[in-house]
Structure 1
Amino acid sequence: MAGILDTIKLAGVLVLAIPAALAGLEFLLVRGETVTGSVLIGLAVALVLVQRRLTMPTDVPGLIAKRIGSAATPDTKSESDENE
């Protein structure tokens, strides 16, 4: 379920980031305004990176549950599997 929600969140950010990136490319390549184009492309990239890396307060319980679950479950590989 978390995969679907992450995909929807990414799509929402891309709705804002793609037009900014396209406008930046137009300023950069067509109009020759390198500063404005670079800033718009940088903002588009920053939007996506912040969305992927930022931890929201609503995400904290899920992160805690993942850590507890991974700490509570034993490793599936045994020592004999590692030696082969």
Structure 2
Amino acid sequence: MRLGILETVGLAASLIFAIPVGFYGIETFLAGSRPLGAGLVIVAVLMVVLPRRLTTPADLPGAVLERLVGTAVKDPDDDDQ
């Protein structure tokens, strides 16, 4: 799974916010407040995973175009060369 430039920038932006939340969650968990710490770690993981898995209304036109281009343009086969 290769990431495009915009996807890479989006992932980096998610990580910038998720990493401190995750570290604070681990510190809180180890300090004794287990439910809060575990909850913060889960939130940090979801901050990274959900934007990659969910389809938003802004993603729909790109998905439709990608599907149309994929059906209209076929990759050349190895035996054609």
TM-score with structure 2 length normalisation?
A: 0.80
Identity of aligned residues (%): 40
Structure 2: any 5+ residue segments left out of the alignment?
Answer: none
Q: For residues 10 and 57 of structure 2, what CA distance do their matches in structure 1 show? A: 15
Displacement of 1:34 in angstroms is 0.8
Structure 1 outlier segments of 4+, above 6 Å: none
Specify the structure having the higher radius of gyration (Cα): 1
Aligned residue for 1:55, secondary structure, equals: coil
**Count of aligned positions:** 77
Q: For residues 48 and 75 of structure 1, what CA distance do their matches in structure 2 show? A: 32
Displacement of 1:75 in angstroms is 5.9
Displacement of 1:5 in angstroms is 0.4
Q: For residues 4 and 75 of structure 2, what CA distance do their matches in structure 1 show? A: 24
TM-score with structure 1 length normalisation?
A: 0.77
